[in-house]
Amino acid sequence: MKKISKIMAIILMFTAVLTACGKKDDAPASNAKNETKTEAKAFEGKTLNVVATSDKYVGLFDKFTEQTGAKVEFLSMSSGEVISRTKAEGKPMADLWFGGGLDAFLAADADGLLEHYVSDNSKEVDPAYKDENGAWIAKGLTVAGFLVNNKILEEKGLDLPMTWDDLAKPEYKGLVIMSNPAVSGTNYAVVKGLLDAKGEEAGWEYLKALNENIEFYSKRGKDPQEKTVQGEFAIGIIPVDNGAFEVAKDNGLTVVYPDMIPWVPEGVAIFKDSENVDVAKAFVDFMLTPEAQAIIAEVDGKDSAQIVVPGVEGLSLGLPKDKLIKEDLTTFGSMREEVLNKFKEIARDKAEQ
């Protein structure tokens, strides 16, 4: 009995030692886990206020919240309203400005409304897609092309237009619809892009010829696509994304990337002196990660060539990147008023406000 008791004592002692060692080994692992969690939730309790053109990016911001702990609240507002309200109130209305016409971002920066931040994650982003001083950076590109109603062209015995010069041919008179560039950022990019590509003199001559084929310039950006689908027009000048290809497939239409493709960066910026500049900067860092870029590409229906971070894959929409116009973005904002005034002289009463 004494021998058995002695053996049991030894076993119990050995077990206790093992248990103590196990606890000692587990403790650092547990602490490391907690440290990682604390670091990942660096903005717990903070709120990122965002002005956005759409609430369709909720999934993207939810992922940011998951990684940082920061809540995100949205306010939907047009770019023009953002600038006018910020000026009127004399203080930033949000922390982050997500999406919108580049001309508005350039105007806001000129008025000193934007924080300058150059993210380490922006090093590989093409200089054309970001401000060198960090005033804005693109979340992606909007590109323009044609949506063609094949049935109408067949009825009229006309060929599919493949170039901008085709679109200005007399046989397409009254068959083309385009939004007013004064209200549509995409179509302002079309006008400015064609001027950059053709040169001002030849560009304005071209726009005069194109104007002959357009009955009116619509006041909604969606009109060219919708009215081409409905058969009111044969050709709509539209922003091209996956949605355009789906509409074309469902309605027997054709999407055309023309010989010269106008484009415009979709801006993202941080408001100067906002309450949560640090959180906004963290979001810009996050937005430029492959994971976030892939989410944006899916939500926006972007071709790989419309994504600003190299190596991130989007949809295969056949966008020929070599056809993107070499645009002068340095004058995109500064020439806007001059360009629109000249355009108004050509369009006259065709341009709906």
Per-residue pLDDT tens for 255-279? 999 999 999 999 999 999 999 999 9
Half-sphere exposure (CA, 13 Å, Cβ side) for 347? 23
Please list the residues that pair with 71 across neighbouring strands: 47
At residue 352, the pLDDT reads 64
For residues 272-301, average pLDDT: 96
Q: Name 18's Cβ contacts closer than 8 Å, sequence gap at least 6.
A: none
For residues 134-149, average pLDDT: 97
At residue 87, the pLDDT reads 80
pLDDT score of 137 more than 80: yes
pLDDT score of 209 more than 90: yes
pLDDT score of 144 more than 50: yes
Structure tokens at 236: 């709509």
Cα–Cα distances in angstroms (integers) from residue 139 to residues 5, 147, 247, 253, 261, in the given order: 74, 24, 24, 29, 19
Distance CA 231, CA 76 (A): 32
Distance CA 353, CA 351 (A): 6
pLDDT score of 14 more than 60: no
Closest Cα to residue 13, out of 21, 3, 24?
21
For residues 177-206, average pLDDT: 94
**Predicted structure pTM score:** 0.83
Distance CA 130, CA 268 (A): 9
Mean pLDDT taken over the chain: 88
pLDDT score of 180 more than 90: yes
Q: How many other C-beta atoms lie within 10 A of the C-beta of residue 241?
A: 22
Lowest mean pLDDT among 35-44, 82-91, 130-139, 284-293: 35-44
Distance CA 122, CA 118 (A): 7
* Helix (H) or strand (E) run with residue 147 in it: strand 137-149
Sign of the dihedral through C-alpha 84, 183, 304, 54:
positive
pLDDT score of 1 more than 80: no
- Degrees to nearest 5, angle at CA 239 with 233 and 245: 75
Long-range contacts: 37-46, Cβ < 8 Å, 24+? 40/67, 40/68, 40/69, 41/68, 41/69, 42/68, 42/69, 42/282, 43/68, 43/69, 43/70, 43/278, 43/279, 43/282, 44/69, 44/70, 45/69, 46/70, 46/71, 46/276, 46/279
Per residue in 146-175, pLDDT tens? 999 999 999 999 999 999 999 999 999 999
Domains and CATH numbers, the chain: 47-141+265-316 (3.40.190.10), 142-263+332-351 (3.40.190.10)
CA 66 to chain centre: 22
Check if the beta carbon of residue 206 is closer than 8 Å to that of residue 198: yes
At residue 339, the pLDDT reads 95
At residue 54, the pLDDT reads 80
At residue 35, the pLDDT reads 39
CA 341 to chain centre: 27
pLDDT score of 319 more than 70: yes
Q: Which residue intervals of the chain are DSSP H helices? A: 2-40, 58-68, 79-89, 102-110, 150-156, 164-167, 185-198, 200-212, 223-229, 242-251, 277-287, 290-300, 336-347
At residue 242, the pLDDT reads 96
Per residue in 65-121, pLDDT tens? 999 999 999 888 777 678 778 888 888 889 999 998 888 899 889 989 999 999 999
pLDDT score of 287 more than 90: yes
At residue 305, the pLDDT reads 94
Query: pLDDT-derived band of residue 2, with 50, 70 and 90 as boundaries?
Result: very low
Place of tokens 């046989």: 171
Check if the beta carbon of residue 49 is closer than 8 Å to that of residue 73: yes
